[in-house]
Amino acid sequence: MSQKIFIKTFGCQMNEYDSNRIFDAVKKIGYEKTDIYENADCYLLNTCHIRDKAKEKVYHEIGRVKKKFRFKKKPLVIVAGCVAQAENQEMLNREPYIDLVIGPQSYHKINNTIINYIEHNKRIEETEFDADAKFDYLSKIKNVTSKVASFLTIQEGCDKFCNFCVVPFTRGPEYSRPYNQILDEAKYLADNGVREIILLGQNVNAYNNDGFKLSNLILDIEKLPEIKRVRYTTSHPKDMTEDLIEVYKSSKKLMPLVHLPVQSGSNKILTRMNRKHTIEEYLSIFYKLKKINSKIKFSSDFIVAYPGEDNEDFDNTLNLIKELRFVSSYSFIFSPRPGTVAENLNLIDKKIAVQRLEKIQNILFENQIQMNRSLENSVIDVLVENLTEDRTKTFGRSEYMTPVIFDGKKTDIGKIVRVRINQSNRNTLFGEAINVSNQKVA
């Protein structure tokens, strides 16, 4: 009889990619996926450690599972991801309901770990950093996805050590996957219906494998005729090198949305964060790209109320947002993380922090609303990803990742369709497909 696995994923796109790859792996030992967690024989929680009470959230979640399964056969409970890496043995000590703890660089060991547990009832943690072995193993298992737009991790880890961030500790040092391994995976995805590839890494633009860089990868991947769009995320300003900027001149399929986290508009705060770049350097990247293609837009990540941020620093962030008119950005209140340099710094008053977050989000949201509104009555390219949930319309994305809902057909899935936008709100554009026969002849 086959076993059912339920996978719950928190955190960034890299965790989403990992969860899919974990499932590709455990299929080999007889697991099927279930979306109903009460039916699971194995409950896997892929965790994120980036903010707030990440650790407590995990124990809370496990508590919920425990309650649900009180009168049923206990599932095998696995904690994976960044909290697993940070907490390792401590999780097994604190919560006997957890059976296995496995960190992000040890997923190649997951099947053996599960089999070992089933045969010997051995609760263990696997948290060694061994990215080479992981990707070597995973590259032999096909990346199966039914999605039109698919993630492809090319780089892991971080050597930047921003003072607020846990990623260098949970994902380990920067590692770039072998170039040909990535091209093989891209080809496999293209052959199996993927039309947009989103290259992933905690520092994706730090990718460097024997001198082959992200710019080379973009140009090689776009040679695959089935691939219509290429994106990459998340980048660090320091690694926005000339070759990558130049790619925007020659690439045919690289999308004009650049996600480039800046965190703060104040050089004083950037220095305190150990971000290793200045606002002037950031602006120079922005204007160089704009000069190459004026359609390019930026999105970003912001941390407000970082220790030491005064009104002037915060105003500098607001001014930067007003100048660069970021679209679809993320913003957070600084959250002290265990083990980081900023862990014990004096926090800014909670009320002020919340006010600053609201202020920044209002401006970011207003930019988004205006950008979407400016598209009303125009015709844009939409890569169709799926039918809407009620199956009456189609869902796709604009070049800037904005969701678009329109009256397409099931056969449009995987295609780029011209859509006239007639309505919008902050997050979504609504429109109708332009058929050649619909178009007025001038």
Q: How far is the CB of 97 from ligand SAM (least distance, A)?
A: 28
Size of the site for ligand SAM (CB under 6 A): 18
> Looking at 5, 6, 7, 12, which residue binds ligand F3S (CB under 6 A)?
12
- Is residue 200 at the binding interface for ligand F3S, with CB under 6 A as the rule? no
Nearer to ligand SF4, 193 or 307 (CB): 307
Q: Can you give 210-256 as a three-state secondary structure string?
A: CCEEHHHHHHHHCCCCCCCEEEEECCCHHHCCHHHHHHHHHCCCECC
- Is residue 78 at the binding interface for ligand SAM, with CB under 6 A as the rule? no
303 binds, among ligand SAM, ligand SF4, ligand F3S, none (CB under 5 to 8 A by kind): ligand SAM
CB atoms within 10 A of CB 2: 10
The CA-atom distances, in angstroms, between 18 and each of 80, 417, 431 are 10, 31, 34
Q: How far is the CB of 219 from ligand F3S (least distance, A)?
A: 27
- Is residue 301 at the binding interface for ligand SAM, with CB under 6 A as the rule? yes
| H or E element that contains 324 | helix 311-324
The answer to whether the Cα torsion of 156, 159, 160, 165 is positive or negative is positive
Q: How far is the CB of 11 from ligand F3S (least distance, A)?
A: 3
* DSSP bridge pairs for 441: none
- Is residue 15 at the binding interface for ligand F3S, with CB under 6 A as the rule? yes
| H or E element that contains 423 | strand 416-424
Pairing assessment for the beta strands 76-80 and 100-102 based on DSSP bridges? parallel
Q: How far is the CB of 110 from ligand F3S (least distance, A)?
A: 17
Nearer to ligand SAM, 188 or 332 (CB): 332
Binding pattern for the stretch 40-59 against ligand SAM, x by CB under 6 A and - elsewhere: ----------xx--------
Q: How far is the CB of 49 from ligand SF4 (least distance, A)?
A: 11
C-alpha 353/C-alpha 348 separation (Å) is 6
- Is residue 202 at the binding interface for ligand F3S, with CB under 6 A as the rule? yes
81 binds, among ligand F3S, ligand SF4, ligand SAM, none (CB under 5 to 8 A by kind): ligand F3S
* Cis previous bond, 234, omega within 30: yes
- Give residues in contact with ligand SF4 (CB under 6 A): 158, 160-162, 165, 167-168, 202-203, 236
Q: How far is the CB of 93 from ligand SAM (least distance, A)?
A: 26
Query: With 0-12 CB in 10 A as exposed, 13-18 as middle and 19+ as buried, what is 422?
Result: middle
337 binds, among ligand SF4, ligand SAM, ligand F3S, none (CB under 5 to 8 A by kind): ligand SAM
161 binds, among ligand SAM, ligand F3S, ligand SF4, none (CB under 5 to 8 A by kind): ligand SF4
Nearer to ligand SF4, 14 or 182 (CB): 14
- Is residue 321 at the binding interface for ligand SAM, with CB under 6 A as the rule? no
DSSP states along 175-202: EE--HHHHHHHHHHHHHTT--EEEEE-T
- Is residue 167 at the binding interface for ligand F3S, with CB under 6 A as the rule? yes
C-alpha 259/C-alpha 265 separation (Å) is 16
Which residue, chain included where needed, has tokens 């997923």? 107
Which residues, 6 or more positions from 294, have their beta carbon under 8 angstroms from its beta carbon?
A: none
Query: With 0-12 CB in 10 A as exposed, 13-18 as middle and 19+ as buried, what is 441?
Result: exposed
* Residues at the site binding ligand SAM, with contacts judged by CB under 6 A: 12, 50-51, 164-165, 167, 202-203, 234, 236, 261, 263, 301, 303, 332, 334-335, 337
